[in-house]
Structure 1
Amino acid sequence: MVILSISPKVERRVYWRTAAVLTLTKMVLPPVLKKRYSLKGMKLVPVIKRIRPGQPESLKGLARMNKELKTENLNMEEIAQHVKVLTGEDLDEICQLSGRSDDDVGEARWILHSLIIYANEFGQPKGQDLQVSEGDSAPIQSTSDMDTQPKAGKRKPDSSTASDTLEDRIASLEKKTKVEIITELKDKFTKEEINFSKMGMIALNILADVLYDLLKPDKPYLRPRCDCDITYLYSDHRNLNKHIPSNSWGGPWQIILTTDIAIGDDIERIRLTRNELQHSRIFHLDDKRFNKLRNILSDLLKRFDQHNKPTRLYTDHLNEILAKTISAEEVKSIKN
């Protein structure tokens, strides 16, 4: 048996190298904003297009403003401050243009992540080496560097004042009118967003009309239709207890059978449709679910056409919404 002797000096060297490797393995960080990199005055159309599809499920760690500050731990106010420092723009304006929710902290974190990644790619100060370490970044508290840095070589001078909106800057940089650029950005909705918008319009208009018309004969002093939403009308129907569902009030979708076609069953279907849309965490309705709801509501509205006998058939109104092209204003009204 041969016993190898290792000198204390070599032993210490091996120890420290091993420790260094283990330390580096544990300290791998997500991307960090590079020092003095900024998006102020830059064209943001490309990054807004990146933001629009939403955060991919495969994304493990969000990019950071500095290595000590986890984006995952930031609240809405802190994210808005970081976005302002990085871009010079308001978070809610970027949310609006990218079609993301302006009151969801998860969406706000995704926006900040996307802006940091884009800044690291295209936001270098003029004359600065592109190979700056990502770990060497400027914290949010010190904004003077970002405010005073010249723009990157390919950026065009921007004559916008501090009061200009994001839309104004994009329009100037793209050499388009404000109306053209807003139309281009806002009208590019996904199929799932259009599905959600159409179903929202059906619920807000037709389904609420159904409940109102059904309640009116039993409640002579009913409020004007414009003051009644589905929640209010459903509560009145439930308190009146005239049209009792087959499986009682307030049940889930699963207990309503296709053969349950009493008026109370359809009142429950209206409530469940409204709740599904209202409580959805994303502005998204895939084709499979959209078609399922459309078929349920089509049958329901045919029954109410016979029962309520409206001046304008509910099914005609339904077909009109299904066939129409949704405008940006209509999407915004449903989203809000």
Structure 2
Amino acid sequence: MMMILYVALGVVLGFVLLILLVWFWLKWKFRSFAAKFADEFANAMAQIGGMAPPLRIDLEPLHDARWSDIDKSYLISDTLAELGYEPDGLFEAFAPVQLAIQGFKNNQRSCFAALYEVKPLGSVYLDLGAEFSDGSFITVSNTPDDGLDHPDFSKIIRLEHLDLSEAEHIREMHARLCEALQGKTVLDQTDAHFADVFQKHWAKTMDWRMERGGMTTEEAIRISAKNGEPDPSEEEIELAKRPWKQQIDNFITDQIRQDYLDHTNMSGKEWEETLDRLVIVHEHSEAFHLIDTLTDTICYESDLDDEEDDDEAADPYLKAQQELNQIFRAEPSVMDAFHRALELLPPDRKYTLQTTTETPWKSEIYLSPKYYDEY
């Protein structure tokens, strides 16, 4: 059932590769300022979250899926009903492409089905899946192999030659699932609903991807080969990875911030004042984000708009940023670099350590000075 994740990722990564081709054409076209353009483009992609999928997904109830091929959707639904699958919710999701998802539940087999359409493409796919008592999952899917890795706890049987145009295709998929379930202890899902199970496995899979740091070099190379492209350069691979890293950084930072605020007794006014002053660093933090925060703190009194000297070397903001970049490149970890960078803060702008965490992520939470007028 989680194959919908990989279809969405395949669409996303295909788009990212297209962006990379455009980017490198522009880099060649405007080679006089290629290095600066590359950095600005990479930063912009990361700032907006790029094209990485959400690390948690929301299934929004949908009244009408507006299937591109309504006859095929009826054929699939009717055949699933014959096999014991009952509708269990119609949903819309963005991952980040738009998806229409019809959930089904088979109480006799304690398994689920997901009929979904990738709206930008009009492609319709079917997953049949069940969860075992040990937490692992089996999926029978007609989605094509897109070159992405899969966690050990998620086994996939691909029947991509089935286009779902005949009822026998759905029956064959169900038969393969039943065969895979023989002799195994299937988790009792009597009281479970499709949406809850789907979102749980999405989160579990994304947690696995977070632990790996997002997209891997091997995945980027494999996807490029499947698209008939030569091996991407290190620069292309890093650019493709960056939206994933930023998405992971934002997610973990938000989780740590919310947990800290939930366990701190503060008034509403104190909460508002503290929120924007928190500086959170963790093992998956993106260096450029911390560098921007530190640079703003170091140079907040500098009136850059009134600078008459156009010499970049005299720009205090750029000077601080360059020094911080050197520190973050030199240290083995982002947290080690952050500790060194704290030494550059002026005495009246030091961060105050509030607390540290070891699980689920190693992190440190600081409070920046209360130096802005609105505070």
TM-score, normalised on structure 1? 0.26
Q: Which has the higher helix share?
A: 1
CA radius of gyration, larger in: 1
Q: Which has the higher strand share?
A: 2
RCO greater where, 1 or 2, for CA within 8 Å and sep 6 or more? 1
